[in-house]
Structure 1
Amino acid sequence: MKIFGVVGWKNSGKTGLMERLVADLTARGLKVSTIKHAHHAFDVDQPGRDSHRHRVAGAGQVLLASRMRWALMTELGDAPEPPLSELLGKLDPCDLVLIEGYKRDGHAKLEAHRAETGQPLIAPDDPTVRAVASDAPLSLDRPVFDLDDTRGIADFILAELGL
C-alpha cells in the first residue's frame, strides 16, 4: 500500500484536488482510499439517530452497517489522537492511500496553494513536499503544477510512487 499526501493551509484547494485525484486515479483502475485529518471536533453521526444515541449513552465504539456501507466510530475520550501509522493499519489493502492533512508527518506530499489565501508556502521549509500545485506562477526547486492540472498531478504522484 503506497501513500501520498496533499497538504496546504485552509482554503488552499486541498479537498477539491483530493476529490479530482481520487476520480482520476480510480478511473485508471487503481484502488484508492483516503484519510482526512481534521483539526476540529467533528461528528459523522446525527443527533437523534440510533447510533448517536448509543454513543451519547457511553458506547466506546459504535459500528453502523447497511447493505451499502459500514462505519466504525470510536470515542477517544481522554486518549491521545492515534498516529497516522496506526490509522493506516485500519484500512483494507489498496493501491494508494491519499492523505489530506498531516502536514508534519514524514510521508511524501504535494502542497496545494492559492495565492488569495495570503499564506506562505510550506514547501521551501519542508523536503517532504515533493511538488506544489498553485493557481499562481511560482519559482521553486521542485515541480510546480497548475492547481487544476489533475492529470499532470496524478501522473507525478504515480511516478513518485512507482505505480
Structure 2
Amino acid sequence: MKKFLSLAILLSGISFASFAQEEVKENKMEKKSYVRKNYVHKEMVKLTPEQIAEKRTEQFGKDLNLTAKQREEVYKLHLDQAKEMKAKSEIRNKERAEARKERMAHNEKFMSVLTPEQQTIWKEKFNARAEKFKGDREGKKGHRRDHKKVEQPNKG
C-alpha cells in the first residue's frame, strides 16, 4: 500500500512539473511574437527616409489620434531620425565591406604560407566549425550572419 501511495505521489509530481514547463514555453512564445510584431521589418531598409517617416507618422496618427499640426511635427521628427539612421547604416556598411576585404586579404596571405595538404585540412576544419555554428543557430532569428564555406583564393 505504501509503495502504491508513493508511486501515485511521484506520478502526480511529474505531471505537475510537465504542465508548469508547458506554461513557461507558451509565455516565451508570446513574448517572442510580441517582439516580432514590433520589430522593424527588412522592407524598411529598402525605403527612403521620407517613406519611413511617412509610415511611422501614419502609425502614430492611428494609435494616438494626432491633430494635423502634431502630425506635421511628428513627421519632421521621424524624418530627421530616419535620415540619421540611414547615414549611420551606410557608414556601417562601408566599414563592414572594408573589414571583409581586409579579412580576405589576410586569408589569402595565410593560405599562401600553407601547403596544399594543409590548406585542405584547414578548409575542412573551418567548414566543419561553420556548419556547427549554423546548426546551433537554426531557429534563432536574431542572428544575421551566416558562416560561408571557404573557397580557394583566386591566384592569378
Q: Which has the higher helix share?
A: 2
With CA pairs under 8 Å and 6+ residues apart, which has the higher RCO, 1 or 2?
1
Q: Which has the higher strand share?
A: 1
TM-score range with shorter-chain normalisation? under 0.3
Larger-gyration structure (1/2): 2
